[in-house]
Chain A
Amino acid sequence: MTKTRKLTTTAILTAAALVVFVIESQIPSLTSVPGIKLGLSNVFTLFALYTVGAPWAFALLLIRVVLGGLLTGQTMAILYSLSGGLLAFGAMLLGRRLIPEKQLWVVSVFGAIFHNIGQIAAAVLITSTSEILYYLPILLVSAIVTGAFTGVSAQLVLKRLKQSRFLK
């Protein structure tokens, strides 16, 4: 893949991730626990990580978090998202080295788990309210379920697009 191709692919993926993020933020939360959501935009981060590479995927993540926070008007959420996102990215980067691509969904579950740990850590530090840790078990439950779902999605898309000419 040429550099220009990588740049344009990342740009498209970033735009798509942002759209999905904004649409998802409009869906009302099903539970009274803050921080539980599907996290569909992570499909794009994962996908980028496996196609255009880590630096591009990292850029996608940063732009998505900052612009997503500004577009949805939740500027405080940027801090939580960023701390969760960075930790998740680290976990997924490591997971990519250790786990074969056939088990991409496992990498996604680890990403989701660390995303929620990072988010809770940021919330505890920012608000100095350690009671938020009560949410950790249920957020991990949510991370395993949503992480597996988004991971399987990314895995299927990756498999299909590798068969097409999109990634050449």
Chain B
Amino acid sequence: MKTRSWIILFSALLITCLAAWLILPGLLQKGEVVGIYQDGELLRTVDLSKITKTETMTVSGSAGDNVIEISPGSICVASADCPDQTCVKHGPLREGGAPIICLPNRLVIRWMEDTGTEYDAMTGTQEAS
């Protein structure tokens, strides 16, 4: 294959991947409901549009604690005990954005794909049973 063909092939792949990165999370997101997962299990769901005051939630794992800050319309990891701080640097979970992931504690905060469940109208939250 000619060098020019390789460049075209890789450029096409690059643009496809970039588009997938930007568009994919937005396509999966439905509504304002966020799920907090650890080890692949749903710990809690939060409807950000129904949160009225800022609260924090601590999740413990093998690498220490993650402090999750839930405020009206926004959720982020405020602090973490792990050395890499990837989840803190991620900042708030953006509309249609990629999930917040803490690899050392296997914690994932992402937009829910399905909003079929009933939520508590008073607090906008639902504890997983």
Contacts and interface: CB of A to CB of B under 8 A. Distances in A.
B103 A141 contact: no
Interface string B41-84: 00000000000000000000000000000000000000000001
A134 interface: yes
B98 interface: yes
Majority-rule SS of A interface residues? helix
Contact of B106 (A32, A33, A129, A138): A129
A165 B37 CA distance: 58
Interface in B64-120: 84, 86, 89-91, 98-99, 101, 103-104, 106, 108, 110
Given A103-B3, A131-B101, A137 B39 contact: no
B108 A129 contact: yes
Contact of B17 (A123, A127, A140): A140
Nearest to B23: A137
Contact of B86 (A34, A145, A148): A34
Contacts of A19: none
A131 B104 CA distance: 14
A32 B100 CA distance: 10
A8 interface: no
B10 A131 contact: no
B36 to A, nearest CB: 12
Q: Which of B17, B37, B39, B91 has the most chain A CB within a 10 Å cutoff?
A: B17
Contacts of A76: 104
A141 B101 contact: no
Given A131-B108, A145-B14, A137 B21 contact: yes
Contacts of B104: 76
A109 B10 contact: yes
A99 B106 CA distance: 40
A32 B91 contact: yes
Contact of A140 (B13, B86, B89, B91): B13
A32 B99 contact: no
A103 B101 contact: no
17 contacts: A32-B91, A34-B86, A102-B3, A103-B1, A128-B39, A129-B101, A131-B37, A131-B110, A134-B98, A135-B98, A137-B24, A138-B21, A140-B13, A141-B17, A144-B10, A144-B14, A145-B14
